[in-house]
Structure 1
Amino acid sequence: MEICVRSGDTIEYYSHLFTIPFELILDSNPSQIQTSLNASEMINIPGFLVKPYIIKEGETISKIATSRKLSTDAILLLNQDYRAEEIKVGDTILLPMRITKPYFQTKSPCDSKKLGEYITRLKKVYPFINVFTVGTSVLGSPIQEIRIGKGKKIVHMNASFHANEWITTMVLMSLVNNYLLSLTNGSPIRGEKSIQQYQDVQLSIVPMVNPDGVDLVLNGPPSLHHDEVINMNEGSNDFVHWKANIRGVDLNRQFPANWEKVKNSNKHTNSPAPRDFPGSFSLSEPEAIAMAELAKNNFFDRLLAFHTQGKEFYWGYEGHEPNEAEEIAKEIERVSGYQAIRYVDSHAGYKDWYIQEFKRPGFTLEFGWGINPLPLSQFAEILKIAEKIFIVALTY
């Protein structure tokens, strides 16, 4: 919500007026570094939208404010052309509307277009978040990162490395949306005060690593690559089980952590396919390159990769994991009920490479149970587990 500053107003006053933490307002206005504002300049107030309202018989500004649990001055601030005593029946005024429910809908799958629209909407309502394009897919779709918080500790989470695991994007975006609601409404997440986490932790979120693959699974093949992907899919028009990117490369088999073992393994195909092909060489795909560069440029303190399925998670890689990883794994296992598995016969994944490269805690989380893609009927249960793990990742 954008407001016009009056003479004498301060960010501290707006924080009190709208019950929004001071630092969230400050971070929503990065070009405004002083707390003493200039009259007539525009300031963003996060967590609110502006709604037109027509005055009804018997209503006053005071009565409207009381009924909506607002300060009278919060309404007057948005209607500076009016005097409170001059407002009459039929006049249209503007009301600040606090956002208390999630924007992100979970009733239908989310492709890359919907995701982009949701991120744009979140950025408008919560301008203290930062959104970066960290790379582009084979077909040119942006791979976006959402940044929240200002702490020294950086926690990274990603989803939809695999196309038919698109439900993980919905889980991760729901976590983000709920976190933002918690920040602006002062409500705890599972007993934890989120504003403290905002101050202590910088959260890095890549909600859809493989936008082309997700779009292929949900919407079918793009016209320019129709014949190519049909051939890779053995002539079938059914892409529901497709894991790879649009070029038939498994993005979570692309990283230089014993990539050669994967390439030479009988478990994987030797040519582009719906799943398991690790590419002709490591980091051959733009999506994998983008994620590798993101990690190199930010040196995350810990990493969580959202996958499905199995109700378990993996947290080690060939002895490169630090001692603290075991403690975090025990806590994740305790709160989630998922089995903690230290080592598996798997290589070249993002978590594997991250642990090998940076010697920091990394976790591959296998949410839910069944055959991918998991049905949306599992979403609520998965989200409950993910919320618990989310808190551990930020606080432990």
Structure 2
Amino acid sequence: MKIVSRPNDTLTYYSKLFDVPLILLEQANQGFDAEVLPRGQTVQIPGYALFFESSPRHTLKTIAIERNILIDQLLVTNQLVSPDELSHYDQIIIPEPVNDFIITDCDHYTSAKLERDIQKLMAVYPFMRSQSAGSTVMGKTIPELGIGTGETHVHLNGSFHANEWITTAVIMRFLNEYLLALTNQLPIRGMNLHAYFLQTHLSVVPMVNLDGVDLVIEGVEAAGAYQTEVLTLNNQSNDFANWKANITGVDLNNQYPACWDTEAKRKPDSPQPRDYPGSHPLTEPEALAMQALTAKRDFKRVTALHTQGKEIYWGFADLEPSDAKAIAREYCRVSGYRPVQNLDSYAGFKDWFIQEFRRPGYTVELGAGVNPLSFEQFESIYQEALGIMLANLYVS
């Protein structure tokens, strides 16, 4: 919610008035001094939404009593009306704390839903940062979201594979729950999220393969200028449920220079709905975007969500650091998943991260069944993944 500052108002005052941690206000209003706020400055208050109603009542105090809110909250949000003599024509602005999920429609989670939900979250939680990590083949922006002020930078991503779009829904539900807990100063599973916000900066790319996800969910029309090509690769079928690749038929999680030659020798040698690693490593803009993002940051750890199998892969060519195993055990403890150190599979994002930076990297296979997993599993998958995503904030 946005308000306009009055004389002598400060961020510290707003923190107390709206019961919002000062650090969240400072993050939402970077560049403002907490104790010096220019008059007439637009200020964002995290965790609140504004509602408008016509009021035949007589005073703001009457409304405050009826709505059980502080009169000072009404005064700061209704500076253009006379507080002691309201007109029937006045539009009264009611500030209300958001205490429930904003993201409620997680089924068939397309790139359009992702964009919509990011906008919703940013409106209520402006201390979350949103920027572009790059673009897809079709020119869609790959969003990166950031939460936290800590010096420990960790990364989480989903939907490298098109028919694993449920991973994006899981991530976005988690972000919503995390943000909700921060502004309402509530724990998740008994844990103080404010402490994690201060110690960890979480980077999130909720959907890497936007073009492919839309193709799986919406069909050939989502392919735009690539309709002929994807139909040819898919044997003229408009059922793209088995499509893992990006829109040009390249498997983005087989695109990294980490034993890529080994993988290429046993995988298809031309574009396919799945498994084709490309003609060379890092030919696709989505893979390049993730490489560039990771190279630019100082991630202590990366975690990539995939489906399915309820397993956590944590090693690569014995290059993983000594603490990788302990972190994998914690991921497994909080999820019930099985740890797997080595797998006869190469050229993945976490493989490259371990090889390049010698830091812990994880591929987490959510749920069980056949991709794309039935959305009926969403709640159980989310609860399993929630422990992992929280652990990603607190493990050292």
TM-score (norm 2): 0.96
Partner of 2:230: 229
Q: Which residue of 2 aligns with 1:44?
A: 44
State which drifts further: 268-277 or 69-78. 69-78
- Partners in 1 of 2:310 and 2:60 — Cα distance? 53
Q: 1:248 is matched with which residue? A: 249
Please give the alpha-carbon distance, in whole angstroms, between the structure 1 residues aligned to 2:61 and 2:324.
Answer: 55
List aligned pairs for 1:60-139, cutoff 5 A. 60-87=59-86, 91-139=90-138
Distance 1:291 1:89 in 2: 55
Answer yes or no: is 1:211 the counterpart of 2:210. Answer: yes
Structure 1 partner of 2:263: 262
Once the two structures are TM-superposed, the CA of residue 122 in structure 1 deviates from its matched residue by 1.5
2:324 paired with 1:325: yes
Q: Deviations over 1:47-95 (max 9, x none)?
A: 11211123355x7533433454421100111111234321256643111
Structure 1 position 385, deviation (Å): 1.1
Other-structure match for 2:180 = 181
Q: Retained in 1: the 8 A contact 2:111–2:213?
A: yes
Check if 1:297 corresponds to 2:296: yes
Q: List gaps (5 residues or longer) in structure 2.
A: none
Looking at structure 2, the residues matched to 77 and 375 of structure 1 have their Cα atoms a distance apart, in angstroms, of 47
Distance 1:45 1:113 in 2: 26
Check conservation: 2:59, 2:85, Cα contact below 8 A.
no
State the alpha-carbon separation in 2 of the partners of residues 132 and 33 from structure 1: 24
Aligned-residue offset at 1:223? 3.6
Distance 1:289 1:66 in 2: 56
The answer on whether the counterparts of 2:100 and 2:180 sit within 8 Å (CA) in structure 1 is: yes
- Report how far residue 302 of structure 1 moved: 0.8
Check 1:310–1:295 CA distance in 2 against 1; reply closer, same or farther (3 A cut). same
Distance across 2 between alignment mates of 1:235 and 1:258: 33
- TM-score normalised by L of structure 1: 0.96
Aligned to 1:363, the other structure's residue is in SS state strand
Deviations along 1:205-242, one digit per CA (max 9) or x if unpaired, are 00000000001101112241111111111222211110
Equivalent residue number for residue 192 of structure 1: 191
Aligned residue in 1 for 2:313: 314
Moved more, 226-235 or 165-174: 226-235
Asked if the contact 1:299–1:358 (Cα under 8 Å) also holds between the matched residues in 2, the reply is: no
Secondary structure of 1:115's partner? helix
Q: 1:240 is aligned with what amino acid?
A: A
Q: Give the conservation status (yes or no) of the 8 Å contact 1:76–1:82.
A: no
Describe the SS at the equivalent of 1:391: helix
Question: 1:169 matched to which residue of 2?
Answer: 168
Partner of 1:24: 24
* Preserved CA contact (<8 Å) 2:244 2:251: yes
Runs of 4+ in 1 over 4 A off after TM superposition: none
Q: Give secondary structure in 2 for the equivalent of 1:323.
A: coil
Q: CA deviation at 1:162?
A: 0.2
Paired residues, number: 393
My pick for the range that moved more, 255-264 or 318-327, is 318-327
* 8 Å CA contact 1:254, 1:348 repeated in 2: yes
Q: Kindly state the Cα deviation for residue 367 of structure 1 after the two structures are TM-superposed.
A: 0.5
The answer as to 2:285 corresponding to 1:286 is yes
Kept in 1: contact 2:304–2:362 (CA 8 A): yes
Q: Encode CA deviations 1:88-141: one digit per residue, 9 max, x unaligned.
A: 566431111211122212353111122112112211221111111111000101
Distance in 2 separating the partners of 1:381 and 1:200: 29
Shift of 1:155: 1.1
More displaced 10-residue stretch of structure 1: 203-212 or 85-94? 85-94
Deviates more, 1:162-171 or 1:124-133: 124-133
**Letter of the structure 1 residue corresponding to residue 113 of structure 2:** K
- 8 Å CA contact 2:81–2:90 kept in 1: the answer is no
Q: For 1:302 and 1:66, locate their aligned partners in 2 and report how far apart those are by CA, in whole Å.
A: 50
- Alpha-carbon distance in structure 2 between the residues aligned to 1:107 and 1:192: 25
State the identity as a percent.
Answer: 44
Report the Cα distance in structure 1 between the residues aligned to 2:189 and 2:30, rounded to whole angstroms: 30
Whole-angstrom distance in 2 between the partners of 1:131 and 1:191: 28
Distance of 1:2 and 1:383 partners within structure 2: 32
Distance 1:68 1:319 in 2: 61
For 2:160, give the aligned amino acid. Answer: F
Return 239-248 or 318-327, whichever deviates more.
318-327
Distance (whole Å) between structure 1 residues aligned to residue 244 and residue 13 of structure 2: 51
Specify the SS of the correspondent of 1:53.
Answer: strand
Instruction: For 1:173, give the aligned amino acid.
Output: M
Q: What corresponds to 2:341 in structure 1?
A: 342
Unaligned runs of 5+ in 1: none
Secondary structure in structure 1 of the residue aligned to 2:320:
coil
Quick check: 323-332 or 220-229, which moved more?
Answer: 220-229
